[in-house]
Each structure stands twice: as structure tokens, then as C-alpha cells.
A and B are shown apart, each in its own frame.
Chain A
Amino acid sequence: MVFASNVDRWLWWDWIGRNTDLIWSSLREHVILAAGAVGLGLLISIPVGIAAARWRWLYAPVLAVTGVLYTIPALAAFALLLPLTGLSRTTALIPLTTYTLLILVRNVVEGLDGVPGDIKDAADGMGYSRTRRLLRIELPLAVPAIMAGVRIATVTVIGLAAVAGLLAIPSLGNLIYIGQNRPIRTAITVGIVLSVALAVTADLILSLIQRLLTPWARVRAER
């Protein structure tokens, strides 16, 4: 039974060779979902985080709402959106974005809170306006905390985007789904390996970006 053994193989190069199109498009969709979710998440979280850091009473309700959104299981969230948005990228993108909010908002606020008071006083003394102080002093100093949040959100979302494959929304999870259902073990291997590799690569790239965004941290390390 040559055929059955091929299906059972964890690495069947022929299958990979014949399905490069499927593998590439799944990887591409996965990257689009993850990057889109974190990008949209940042667009929402930075202004919300700035507001919550300035008006303290906002912080608890914001964390409560984003906490509830974080609680809804990915599969349920995708399924709840099906009647509205169908089997589209949007169906996956909306919940994935909401999952990043708890992590990102919290790190934006904690990052802004961590800016030492004497630095803010110095900026005030130099005649910085409130907005200019925020943009030129506080946000740059919050970058390490914000980037730590971005890295965690990215890795989390890459893991969760696989679940979309269960509802036949294209992503690396779709390969795992195909592998389990047909069954072709190689498809499972490819889906998992690419998903983990994507998470690790994204984390590395983001840590490089973080270094580029905070040149002062390097200067301090060299001293």
C-alpha cells in the first residue's frame, strides 16, 4: 500500500511540490490577517491608550471592555460574524483585531505611565506644549513597552488566525484542516511548521524595528 503510506508520512515532498500554490496563498493570507489585525489594533489602541493614560477614570472601563472581547473564543467569534460578513477575510480580521486591544492598550498606558516625572518636568520647563511633549518625549519613551505589546499581540494573533481555517477561511490553519480531514499528514506538518516559523520570524523582525526606533537604548548599552 504505497498510497496509504504516503498519506501517513509527516513529510511527503511530492505533495508539497504539487501544492506550492495552495501553501503560498495560505501563508500570504495568514500574514495579511496577522499584520492587518495588529495594524488596526495599533490604530485603535494608541489613541485609546493615550486617552486612558491622561483621563485615569477611563482606564478601568477600557480594560473591562477589551477584557470581555478577549474572552470570546476565536471560533465562536468567527462563527458569530458569519451571517454578517460570510466566509471573507473581514470575518477573521474583526475578532483578531479585538484580541490585540487588551494587550496593546494596556502596554500603551503602562508605557506612558513609566515615563519618569522629572523628564516630563524638564520638557515643561523647556516650554513644550502638552501635545508636543506627548509626541516628542512621552511616546518615544513608551516605545519599548508598546513594542513589547506589539510583539506579544503579533505572536498571539498568528496562533489564533489558524483557527479561521476551521471555517474554511484561508490561512495556514486551512492546511491543518485539510491535513486532518483528507487525511494528509504532510499538510498538517506544513501548516504547523510555517505557523511557528512565521511567529518566530515576525518576533525577530519586530525586535529589530524596536532597536531602530530606540537608538538611545543602544548608546546606553555601548557605554
Chain B
Amino acid sequence: MNFFQDIATWFNDPSHWRGDAGIPNRLLEHIQYSICAIVAAILVAMPIAVWLGHRRQFGTIAVNVSNLGRAIPSFAILVLGTQAFGLLELPVIGSFTTFVALVALAVPPLMTNSYVAVAEVPDELRDAARGVGMSERGILRRVELPVAVPLLMAGVRTASVQVVSTATIAAFVGAGGLGRYIIDGRAIFDNTEIFAGALLVAVLSLATEISLGFAQRALTPRGLRAELVTARAAAVVATPIPDGKVGL
């Protein structure tokens, strides 16, 4: 039997669709970890970053936070968390270590992108809003936030995809989720299970990316949709482009 038939057989096996170790339960665990973490990270990071962006204060810190976050491997945060908290299970959020690690991972990109999204709203727009007598809160709510949506949502998209990716690794420190198939398959050298798990994880990540892409599009004011093409890449890089001016 060739390898792809093995994979098909694995997916057709009813025992892989039942119980705690079945695909539906693993998928739910994966989604549970991811949603709890991303919602918590948004609540922590976004209000502060948006307000700082409005004030245009502490920009260097907001931008450098994500570079610092990048240098620490997410895998390392998970292992350190397990050493510190053990395998603590809590209601709603599931594995506490996984939750903390995923929140720590999602905060930097959300912070940087939310700050940059609001801070880079063109001055003319703010000045015009002030000129017609809008309050500071009105400017933030009705001018800056709508204009910032493409990049704000690109930050949410980037952070979410990263969280779904890393929730896979959480299986290594004893949590559930779809990563279990890769880690458990690896432990018994079962290449079929590893490959099937990897397929499930890849499909979930792509589904996250695509559905948030639609959400981003739906929330973006029609006139700004051209910016969506580059917003995702901009959120991944999360650093303003340095100018190459010659100093003429």
C-alpha cells in the first residue's frame, strides 16, 4: 500500500473520529486555546496601543515590542511555562501554560500593528476632523479607527495565525489540540499519523487566514479596500519602511 492510501485509511478509520483523542475533540481544543488567547490578547493590547497611537506617544517602544517578541522562540515560552506552572488545567481556557504562552505570543504583533495603524493615519484627516469641531474621542472613533481598519485587522490576522500555529506545539508540553497527532505520531514513529495531523493543522491555519481575510474585507470602508493587498505583509513585517533618500 502506498503512503497516500495509508493517509486515506487513517482518515476513514471511525476510531479517529470518536472520543477524547478523536479529530472533533482535538479540533475543538485547538480552537478553544486559540480563541481564548487571541481574545485576551486583543483586550490587553489593543486599547492601550490604539490610545498611544492616537496620542502618538511611545512609538519606539510599541514598535520594538514586536521585534523583542520575535527573538524569543514561542516554543521556549511554552517550555518555560510548563516548568513554572506544570500542567494546570482551568475551566474555559484549558491548559493554563498554553494560554499564557499564546497570549504572550499574540500581544507583540497586536501592540505594534494597532499602534502603527492609528499613528499613521494622515495628519490632514485629523486636522480636518478637528477643523469641523469633532472631539478627541470623536476623531478616534469616527476618523482614525475606520481608516486604521485594514492594518488593525491585518494585525489581528497575523496574531491569530501565529496563535493557531503555536497551539500546535502546545501538544509537546502535554496540552491537547491537533498538534497531538504530530507529537504522538512522532513518539511511536508513525509517519501516517504525523502526516495526517500536519494536514489537519495546515487546513485549520489556512481556514483561519482566509476567514479573517473576509472579516477584514467586510470591516474595511469601501474606499480603502485597495490597501488590503499590502496590509497583511505590512502586519507581518510590522516595522515602517526606512527611506532610502540620498540626502540631496
User: Residues of A with Cβ closer than 8 Å to B?
Assistant: 59-60, 63, 66-68, 70-77, 79-80, 82-83, 102-103, 105-107, 110-111, 114-116, 119, 141-145, 148-149, 152, 155-156, 158-160, 162-163, 165-168, 173, 176-177, 179-180, 185, 188, 191-192, 195-196, 199-200, 203, 214, 216-217, 219-220, 223
- Is B233's CB under 8 angstroms from A67's CB? yes
When distances are taken between beta carbons in the complex, the residues of chain A under 8 Å from B168 are: 73, 75-76
The answer to whether residues A76 and B201 also contact, given A102-B236, A114-B241, A142-B244 and a CB cut-off of 8 A, is yes
A167→B189 CA distance, assembly (Å): 10
A83 interface neighbour in B74, B82, B191, B197, Cβ under 8 Å? B191
What residues make up the interface of B, taking CB atoms closer than 8 Å to A? 3, 67, 70-76, 79-80, 82-83, 161, 164-166, 168-169, 172-173, 179, 182-183, 186, 191, 194-195, 197-199, 201-202, 205-206, 208-209, 229-230, 232-234, 236-239, 241-248
In the complex, what distance in Å separates the CA atom of A57 from the CA atom of B238? 24
In addition to A195-B72, A199-B71, 20 A-B residue pairs with Cβ atoms within 8 Å of each other are A63-B232, A67-B232, A70-B161, A70-B236, A74-B165, A80-B198, A82-B194, A103-B233, A103-B236, A106-B237, A114-B243, A141-B245, A162-B75, A166-B169, A166-B186, A176-B76, A177-B172, A188-B80, A216-B246, A219-B247
Q: A102-B233, A179-B79 are in contact. Are A80 and B199 (CB under 8 A)?
A: yes
With a cutoff of 8 Å between Cβ atoms, the chain A residues found around residue B237 in the complex are 103, 106-107, 148-149, 152
Please indicate the chain B residues that have their CB under 8 angstroms from the CB of A75 in the complex.
Answer: 165, 168-169, 179, 182, 198, 201
Decide yes or no: A143 and B244 within 8 Å by CB, A71-B209, A106-B237 being known contacts: yes
Distance (whole angstroms) from the CB of A87 to the closest CB of chain B? 10
Asked whether, in the complex, the Cβ of A59 is within 8 Å of the Cβ of B247, the reply is: no
**What residue of chain A has the Cβ atom nearest to residue B192's Cβ?**
A83
* Interface of A (DSSP majority class): helix
Query: Which residue, A59, A75, A173, has most C-beta atoms of chain B within 10 A?
Result: A75
CB distance from B195 to the nearest CB of A (A): 6
Interfacial chain A residues near B194, Cβ < 8 Å? 79, 82
Evaluate contact between A72 and B206: CB separation under 8 angstroms: yes
CB distance A72 to B79 under 8 Å? no
A152 to B198, CA, bound (A): 26
Q: Main SS of the interface on chain B?
A: helix
The answer to whether residues A173 and B71 also contact, given A73-B205, A220-B247 and a CB cut-off of 8 A, is no
Inter-chain CA distance A199–B75, complex, in Å, is 15
- Interchain CB contact under 8 A, A163 and B73: yes
**B116 CB, nearest partner CB in chain A, Å:** 14
Question: What are the 6 closest A-B residue pairs judged by CB atoms, nearest first?
Answer: A73-B165, A220-B247, A79-B198, A106-B233, A199-B71, A141-B244
Q: Are A159 and B72 in contact (CB under 8 A)?
A: yes
Q: Given the interface contacts A67-B209, A220-B247, does A76 sit within 8 Å of B198 by beta carbon?
A: yes
Say which residue of A82, A102, A160 sits within 8 Å of B73 (CB atoms). A160
